[in-house]
Amino acid sequence: MDSAEFHAAVYEAVRLIPLGKVTSYGHIAHLIGMPNHSRHVGQALKFADPGVNPPLPWQRVIGSSGAISSRGPGTNGAQRQREALEAEGVEVTVGRAGEFKVDMRIYGWFPDNVEILQPEDQDQVDGENSSSG
């Protein structure tokens, strides 16, 4: 697994995220078979070209905690990600510290069987919110 292949695998997994849903860096890492490379998933997205085709829905990847990671005090990456998510219908809330958060119980997308995911089987993979609500 080279760096280029890692990036390609990350992009392929990220493109699987359905519209209006979000997942975590760790889950992308999990889907490509490298669960402990969660940090590098973000790194791969950072180096991704915004003009690639098919387009990369990078905005659908956030922290496992449901928070949009801050790229840094002087950057507006988090703000752009928030706008991109809201444009898809994902509701983003703002915490006290100005952090953007998404309710994973509603918009979370964490299937373990993406390889067998079919358009007609999507009804049986979103049972993550069975705990409450």
Partner DNA sequence: AGGTTGACGTTAG
Partner DNA sequence: TCTAACGCCAACC
Comparison of 19 and 123: residue with beta carbon closer to DNA: 19
Minimum distance of DNA from residue 17's CB (angstroms): 13
Q: What share of the chain is helix, strand, coil (3-state, %, to 5)?
A: 40, 10, 50
Our CA angle for 64, 67, 68, nearest 5°, is: 110
Minimum distance of DNA from residue 94's CB (angstroms): 11
Minimum distance of DNA from residue 19's CB (angstroms): 17
Comparison of 46 and 89: residue with beta carbon closer to DNA: 46
Return the structure tokens found at 4: 């280029």
Comparison of 97 and 119: residue with beta carbon closer to DNA: 97
Amino acid letter, residue 15: R
Residue ranges that bind DNA, judged by CB under 7 A: 3, 24-27, 36-43, 45-46, 48, 58, 61, 63-65, 69-72, 77, 81, 95, 97
Comparison of 112 and 121: residue with beta carbon closer to DNA: 112
Amino acid letter, residue 49: D
Minimum distance of DNA from residue 73's CB (angstroms): 11
Minimum distance of DNA from residue 95's CB (angstroms): 6
Comparison of 76 and 121: residue with beta carbon closer to DNA: 76
